């Protein structure tokens, strides 16, 4: 008996994750939606099932909790849900001085942004390798390309995501698996408010999450790879290569320094 395949989207209740869900639904993918907000997920699932001829499963979970990712993988197995596309989107950041931000929140950030992403990839990848096909989209950030003060832990977690994803892509290419490393810049979601980043005035304005998702899915169709939406973001990251790393870090610190923190020498 043929088993239906699904796209699993973490952090699916809002922002980029929600846009991935709606875009993949339009393309006819069956979906597994996961996030903490079960009510939002159930409403979205009902809407997508009504609008599209697809199947949608909801699994509410907090992936920042220890062992949540293996528990999610176990639920997928119990429900016989075969994952052909994994979208590791769940993540959060926090702005401020490292030693003043709550330690438990920062460690939850590490567990969500790094541990859960790596664990889900590890647990779901073998089936893709066995089938000789599959795809992974890991959502990183433009801050992954340089140390970034005042969001130090978040930037470091995203540096892991970018390095991990691009390395993994080379390992699994021979098995017919595509990997997209998605590194958006400032995007119009609730990320900045939730992480106390304040309003970001970016040249050309913030990206819309739909724009970010569209570029990622185009890259997936082309076989995967590194995706940095918008020419300005690509240019800034390219130019960083020509400056001393310490200078790049100091420039990033100036940009991200909260207004209530004095300049450092």
DSSP label of 60? E
* Cβ neighbours around 132 below 10 Å, total: 9
Active site residue 122: no
Tokens of residue 72, six digits: 């999610």
Catalytic residue (choose from 6, 80, 122, 154): 154
- Distances in Å between the alpha carbon of 154 and those of 109, 143, 187, 216, 244? 7, 9, 16, 21, 22
Nearest Cα residue to 21 out of 77, 87, 75: 87
Strands 5-10 and 177-182: unpaired
CA Rg, the chain, in Å? 18
C-alpha span between 249 and 9 (Å, rounded): 32
C-alpha span between 210 and 216 (Å, rounded): 10
DSSP characters for 202-218? -TT-PBPHHHHHHHHHH
Asked whether the beta carbons of 30 and 8 are under 8 A apart, the reply is: no
- Kindly list the catalytic residues: 154
């Amino acid at each position: 008996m043929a088993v239906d395949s699904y796209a699993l989207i973490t952090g699916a209740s809002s922002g980029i994750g929600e846009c991935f869900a709606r875009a993949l639904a339009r393309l006819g993918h069956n979906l597994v939606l996961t996030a903490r907000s079960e009510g939002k997920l159930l409403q979205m699932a009902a809407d997508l099932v009504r609008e599209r001829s697809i199947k949608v499963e909801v699994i509410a979970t907090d992936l920042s909790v220890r062992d949540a990712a293996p528990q999610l993988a176990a639920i997928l197995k119990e429900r016989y849900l075969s994952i052909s596309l994994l979208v590791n989107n769940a993540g959060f950041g926090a702005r401020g001085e490292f030693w003043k931000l709550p330690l438990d929140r920062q460690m939850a950030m590490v567990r969500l942004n790094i541990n859960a992403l790596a664990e889900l990839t590890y647990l779901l990848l073998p089936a893709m390798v066995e089938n000789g096909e599959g795809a992974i989209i890991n959502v990183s950030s433009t801050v992954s390309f340089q140390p970034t003060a005042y969001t130090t832990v978040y930037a470091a977690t995203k540096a892991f995501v970018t390095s991990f994803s691009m390395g993994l892509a080379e390992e699994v290419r021979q098995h017919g698996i595509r990997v997209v490393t998605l590194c958006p810049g400032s995007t119009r979601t609730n990320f900045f408010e939730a992480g106390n980043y304040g309003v970001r005035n970016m040249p050309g304005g913030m990206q819309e999450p739909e724009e970010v998702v569209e570029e990622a899915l185009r890259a997936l169709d082309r076989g995967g790879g590194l995706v940095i939406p918008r020419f300005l973001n690509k240019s800034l990251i390219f130019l960083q290569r020509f400056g001393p790393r310490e200078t790049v870090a100091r420039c990033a610190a100036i940009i991200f320094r909260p207004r209530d923190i004095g300049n450092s020498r």
